[in-house]
Amino acid sequence: MSAAVDTGERILDAAAELIATHGYAATTTRAIAERAGVNEVTLFRRFESKRGVLKALGERMARRQAGRAAEHVAPSEDTHATLLAFARMEIEGALADNGLAMRLAYDARSVSEVGEALGAGAGANLSGLAEFMRERQEAGQLRADIDPRVMAEAFFGLTSSYVIMRTVLGLGEAPVDVSTDSGIEQLFDLFWSGASATKER
Amino acid sequence: MSAAVDTGERILDAAAELIATHGYAATTTRAIAERAGVNEVTLFRRFESKRGVLKALGERMARRQAGRAAEHVAPSEDTHATLLAFARMEIEGALADNGLAMRLAYDARSVSEVGEALGAGAGANLSGLAEFMRERQEAGQLRADIDPRVMAEAFFGLTSSYVIMRTVLGLGEAPVDVSTDSGIEQLFDLFWSGASATKER
DNA sequence: CCATAATGCAAGCAAGCACTTGCATGAATG
DNA sequence: CATTCATGCAAGTGCTTGCTTGCATTATGG
């Protein structure tokens, strides 16, 4: 059974890598199978169709994302620490799968099945974050003269562009260890200085 | 001659629209030709290949980008105003072509010609901006305790994510008029509050 | 040791793709 | 009027794509 599970996982791994770099449309089932070290027929037997692979991949991503969130972001009174931890988690997750999520978000626009496999994804994330910002505004920890959605957008832009620059544009180097990278800290500091209620630096 | 030029431009226009929404791989020469109101053969006669179309499109984009920059961003002593104008210009340009540049940046990963067509593009932009940030740091207008490259990255992240959210993720509405949109102003204010040397708000 | 399930392999199919060829048309240019 | 040049049109070529079929091979577990 374990070999059977492995086969499926290996196929998903291969699909993830290929889609992250080439996009969904340009990733062929043959290439996925080859990279997974598996016969192409096996792919179809396990996932029925290319679309099926995508769907399974989407579900696995959602599972992992949820796991990471539960593991790393402890809800805390300390807004600064919470947001910084959240930023690191987002960046780490996105870098780990080589920008796959962002790439799929792109593809969702043109390939409808990608959107279906991905679910609400980014949109839900953004409004959840905006809600958090609003709470912290009311608690007096974030400046109140900025729309919380704008704040969430700025935060999301910070993390996503960090990833895009390194995975897509090839600018800058991906940090060896996200949890200690000072570049992220500086980037976040910039955001925090602009967004926090206190003016001190 | 003018009709001849028009044909080429129409083909590039069609290619730009289609690639922006469907990506390079999923955009067929047939679709481009049809949208341009032109026979498919004409496309090949004028651009040789699908990649030729892409290359020409990249060159046209570079030309236009240079034109916009020269036209809209007057070098000024006022750092705040200069950066805000620059942000607006970037956003306007990117929204005008429906996120095409970002899409192409993604495609550049798998289609080498795209990268060549785009040229140094984003990388050059980023280091140019970092240089500007450094100057303004030395002039005492931007805080000096942040790496200018990080600052440039944050700025670029701000504008590009604004565009990405509206063109790709379909979150938020594209502003009717970029030059007066208050969302951009708030977003920029967030950045400025974090990046400026003065602590006042 | 045998049944069942998972995998491999070879071959192929229909559709869609980028791209080509040969020829007709029509408008400008000289 | 003759030439040239950009374009249209119809047909087709070879390749790749997602996906299928039929059969042989290898484990795994009762």
Can you give the CATH number for the domain in which A8 is found?
A: 1.10.10.60
Q: Say yes or no for a CB contact (<8 Å) between A183 and B21.
A: no
pLDDT for position A58: 92
Dig out the tokens for A155 from the structure. 């935060």
The reply to whether A54 falls in a domain is no
Whether residue A41 is predicted with pLDDT greater than 80 in this model: the reply is yes
The verdict on A41 and A132 lying in the same domain is no
pLDDT for position A19: 95
The reply to whether B22 falls in a domain is yes
The reply to whether A200 falls in a domain is no
CA distances from B32 to B3, B16, B45, B108 (A): 18, 9, 14, 19
Whether residue B2 is predicted with pLDDT greater than 70 in this model: the reply is no
Q: Is the shortest CB-to-strand distance from A51 to strand C under 7 Å?
A: no
What rounded mean pLDDT belongs to chain A? 88
- HEC readout, chain A: CHHHHHHHHHHHHHHHHHHHHHCCCCCCHHHHHHHHCCCHHHHHHHHCCHHHHHHHHHHHHHHHHHHHHHHHCCCCCCHHHHHHHHHHHHHHHHHHCCCHHHHHHHHHHHCHHHHHHHCCCHHHHHHHHHHHHHHHHHCCCECCCCCHHHHHHHHHHHHHHHHHHHHCCCCCCCCCCCCCCHHHHHHHHHHHHHHECCCCC
The verdict on B69 and B25 lying in the same domain is no
As a whole number of angstroms, the distance between CA B29 and CA B43 comes to 8
Three-state DSSP state, B196 = strand
- Identify the band that residue A1 occupies on the pLDDT scale cut at 50, 70 and 90: very low
The verdict on B178 and B129 lying in the same domain is yes
Closest Cα of chain B to A92: distance in Å? 17
Where in the sequence is the domain holding A102, given as residue range(s)? 63-195
Segment B16-62, tens digit of pLDDT:
999 998 889 899 999 999 999 999 999 999 999 999 999 999 889 88
What's the structural domain count of chain B? 2
The average pLDDT across A155-171 equals 88
Segment B158-188, tens digit of pLDDT:
998 899 888 877 777 778 788 888 889 999 9
CA distances from A168 to A44, A92, A165, A172 (A): 30, 15, 6, 11
The reply to whether B134 falls in a domain is yes
Q: What are the respective helix, strand and coil percentages of chain B, to the nearest 5?
A: 70, 0, 25
The verdict on B83 and B31 lying in the same domain is no
As a whole number of angstroms, the distance between CA B73 and CA B65 comes to 12
| Cβ-based contacts of B193 with chain A (< 8 Å) | 143, 193-195
Tell me the CATH number at B85.
1.10.357
State which amino acid sits at residue B173. E
CB contact, 8 Å: B168 with chain A?
Answer: yes
Question: Which of the listed residues A27, A49, A71 is the one where a domain comes to its end?
Answer: A49
The verdict on B24 and B94 lying in the same domain is no
Whether residue B148 is predicted with pLDDT greater than 80 in this model: the reply is yes
Contact in structure between B152 and B126 (CB atoms under 8 Å)? yes
CA distances from B93 to A86, B67, B135 (A): 31, 11, 25
- Identify the band that residue B199 occupies on the pLDDT scale cut at 50, 70 and 90: low
Q: Is B124 exposed, middle or buried (0-12, 13-18, 19+ CB in 10 A)?
A: exposed
The verdict on B45 and B69 lying in the same domain is no
Segment B82-107, tens digit of pLDDT:
999 999 998 998 898 888 988 888 88
The verdict on A88 and A171 lying in the same domain is yes
Contact in structure between A22 and B109 (CB atoms under 8 Å)? yes
Q: Estimate the crossing angle of helix B100-107 against helix B50-72, to 10 degrees.
A: 130
Whether residue A142 is predicted with pLDDT greater than 60 in this model: the reply is yes
The reply to whether A57 falls in a domain is no
Contact in structure between B197 and B140 (CB atoms under 8 Å)? yes
Closest residue, chain A, to B99 (C-alpha): A106
Segment A8-35, tens digit of pLDDT:
999 999 999 999 999 999 999 999 999 9
Query: How far, in Å, is the CA of B171 from the C1' of nucleotide D14?
Result: 44
The verdict on A36 and A67 lying in the same domain is no
Q: Which residue has the higher pLDDT, A2 or A154?
A: A154
What is B63-127 written as a DSSP string? HHHHHHHHHH----S-HHHHHHHHHHHHHHHHHHTTTHHHHHHHHTTT-HHHHHHHTTHHHHHHH
The verdict on B142 and B166 lying in the same domain is yes
Whether residue A118 is predicted with pLDDT greater than 80 in this model: the reply is no
The verdict on B113 and B136 lying in the same domain is yes
pLDDT for position B1: 42
The verdict on B135 and B171 lying in the same domain is yes
CA distances from B49 to A27, B29, B37, B54 (A): 21, 9, 18, 9
The verdict on B81 and B166 lying in the same domain is yes
Shortest CA to C1' contact from A36: nucleotide:
C7
The reply to whether A201 falls in a domain is no
The reply to whether B55 falls in a domain is no
The reply to whether A56 falls in a domain is no
As a whole number of angstroms, the distance between CA B92 and CA A148 comes to 23
Q: Say yes or no for a CB contact (<8 Å) between A186 and B107.
A: no
As a whole number of angstroms, the distance between CA B66 and CA B134 comes to 22
Contact in structure between B104 and B19 (CB atoms under 8 Å)? yes
